């Protein structure tokens, strides 16, 4: 723009005033966003070409302040910004949904693991109790075998019979605080043994 002597001063002065009133940052952003929007539109409006993050927030702020400024945003500007915001919102919902699903899965797996652990502990306790019962039953069975052997050896070897009977009584008493009905037999046998020793 020139303000020479031969030029129309009023018209050129109006152009100068308009140029001075122009918000250059606004015009640069208008041009930059329009370039991005045209590129987006020419490439089948791909989601990857949309704005994100701070760049989208800045562009939305630019659109809000464009009310009385020139040049006005085009319809393509608006479509591009709406599309970008929609893509970002969908992505945020997808991330939140994915995190929620992952959290629920982790909680479910933790609960399942806890229940499995509890069941394993209970089964271990049951197995230990069964093992102890089996050992006790084996000892009682052994004690009964000793008692039976004591009875059969009573006439042949009274001393061995008494030792076997005592061992049977000791084991049985340790296991269940009861004594097999060997005590009366043992007393009888001891009395018989004393009489034999006296003669």
What pLDDT, in 10s, does the model give residues 75-127? 999 999 999 999 999 999 999 999 999 999 999 999 999 999 999 999 999 99
Does 5 fall in a domain? no
Q: What per-residue confidence (pLDDT) applies to 196?
A: 47
More confident residue, 197 or 173: 173
Angstrom distance (rounded) from CA 84 to CA 53: 10
How confident is the model at residue 165, as a pLDDT?
80
pLDDT tens, residue by residue, 121-170: 999 999 999 999 999 888 888 888 888 888 888 788 888 888 888 888 78
Structural domain includes residue 181: no
pLDDT band at 186 (very low <50, low <70, confident <90, very high): low
> Would you say residue 171 lies in a domain?
yes
Domain boundary (82, 100, 118) is at 100
| 58 and 121 assigned to the same domain | no
Q: Determine the number of helices (DSSP H) and then strands (DSSP E) in the chain.
A: 6, 0
Q: Indicate if 131 and 87 belong to the same structural domain.
A: no
Range of the domain at 155: 106-176
Per-residue tokens: 188: 């009888």
Is 185 within the bounds of a domain?
A: no
Same domain, 16 and 96: yes
Same domain, 93 and 112: no
The reported pLDDT for the residue numbered 160 is 85
146, two tokens: 């000793």
Residue 77 sits in the same domain as residue 113: no
Query: Is the residue at 194 inside a domain?
Result: no
Residue 157 near residue 150, CB atoms below 8 Å: no
- Looking at the 3D structure of the chain, how many domains does it have? 2
Express each pLDDT in 3-47 by its tens digit: 566 666 666 656 656 655 556 788 899 999 999 999 999 999 998
Residues 91 and 164 in one domain: no
Reported in sequence order, the residue ranges of the chain that DSSP labels E, i.e. its strands, are none
Do 20 and 56 lie in one domain? The reply is: yes
Global pTM reads 0.54
pLDDT band at 172 (very low <50, low <70, confident <90, very high): confident
User: 71 Cβ partners below 8 Å, 6+ apart?
Assistant: 27, 30
Does any domain span residue 117?
yes
């Amino acid at each position: 723009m020139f303000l020479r002597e031969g030029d129309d001063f009023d018209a050129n002065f109006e152009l100068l005033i308009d140029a001075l009133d122009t918000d250059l940052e606004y015009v640069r952003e208008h041009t930059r966003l329009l370039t991005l929007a045209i590129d987006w539109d020419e490439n089948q409006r791909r989601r990857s070409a949309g704005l994100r993050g701070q760049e989208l927030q800045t562009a939305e702020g630019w659109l809000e302040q464009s009310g009385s400024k020139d040049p006005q945003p085009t319809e393509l500007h608006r479509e591009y910004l709406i599309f970008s915001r929609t893509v970002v919102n969908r992505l945020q919902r997808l991330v939140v949904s994915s995190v929620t699903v992952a959290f629920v899965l982790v909680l479910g797996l933790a609960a399942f693991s806890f229940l499995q652990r509890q069941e394993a502990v209970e089964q271990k306790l049951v197995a230990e109790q069964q093992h102890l019962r089996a050992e006790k039953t084996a000892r009682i069975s052994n004690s009964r075998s000793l008692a039976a052997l004591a009875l059969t050896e009573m006439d042949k070897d009274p001393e061995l019979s008494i030792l076997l009977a005592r061992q049977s009584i000791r084991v049985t008493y340790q296991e269940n605080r009861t004594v097999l009905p060997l005590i009366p037999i043992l007393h009888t046998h001891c009395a018989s043994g004393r009489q034999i020793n006296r003669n």
